[in-house]
Structure 1
Amino acid sequence: MDKLIPDPLPETTTPLEAAIHAEDLAKNREATQRALDYYLNPADPNAAKPRRPSTMFQIAPNVDTESLLAHATESLASASVMISDFANNLSGPQRNTALGIQQIIVLAELAVNRALDRVDPQT
């Protein structure tokens, strides 16, 4: 029986091509390692200083968790009302975007309310 598709030609690589390919792989490995070291293991500890947040607006360190969660709930509720009012003045895709933002705010508000319930259960 004759084959309709011929066998592929065997790959023939010269020793020079193999050496060039191996050298390229080694260079790629070295470049990858340098990139990983740069981002994950900086050689100089002063090179990657942790970001220090601004102290212009700072929450008092002795505020209890319940107060923080209650304030976050109120802030999210206010943001939800503001974006809802804003969405009423929009139409089309912009309105859908604003309503999507409102949905995210409401979901965050629900999560904060659940955390608040766990801190101070209302029985």
Structure 2
Amino acid sequence: MSNSSSSNIFTVNPDQNTEALLVNASETLSSLNAMTCNLAFNLDTSQRAIMLGIQQMAELGQLLVDRALEQVSPAPEG
């Protein structure tokens, strides 16, 4: 088994447009945020703090992606 075949298990369509990529990244980060929040409250105090730190990083990523999405595809003014 070659190394290159194992490194390409997951791929992103190179022809996908930026807006679609950002929308999918936003949805993925939103799911990660929800999962880490739910899991955090089933952990003890020290593990909860680590999980909430991960959740905050996911939320920061969400904000960055959403801002980029707004720049790529601004909401119509109305």
User: Do they superpose with TM above 0.5?
Assistant: yes
- Identity across aligned pairs (percent)? 42
Report the aligned-residue RMSD. 1.4
**Quick one: distance in 1 between partners of 2:43 and 2:57?**
18
The structure 1 residue matched to 2:48, chosen from 95, 103, 106, is 95
What is the CA-CA distance between 1:61 and the residue it aligns to? 1.0
Deviations 1:24-58 (A, max 9, x none): xxxxxxxxxxxxxxxxxxxxxxxxxxxx6822221
Amino acid at match of 1:115: A
**Greater RCO (CA < 8 Å, at least 6 residues apart):** 2
Q: After the TM superposition, list the runs of 4 or more consecutive aligned residues in structure 1 that deviate by more than 6 angstroms.
A: none
Residue deviations 1:94-114 (CA, integer Å, cap 9, x gap): 111111110010000000000
Residue equivalent to 2:34 = 81
Provide TM-score, normalisation by structure 1: 0.55
1:54, 1:66 → 2: CA distance? 26
Task: Considering fraction of residues, name the structure with more helix.
Answer: 2
* SS of aligned partner of 1:90: coil
Q: Which structure 2 segments of 5+ residues have no match?
A: none
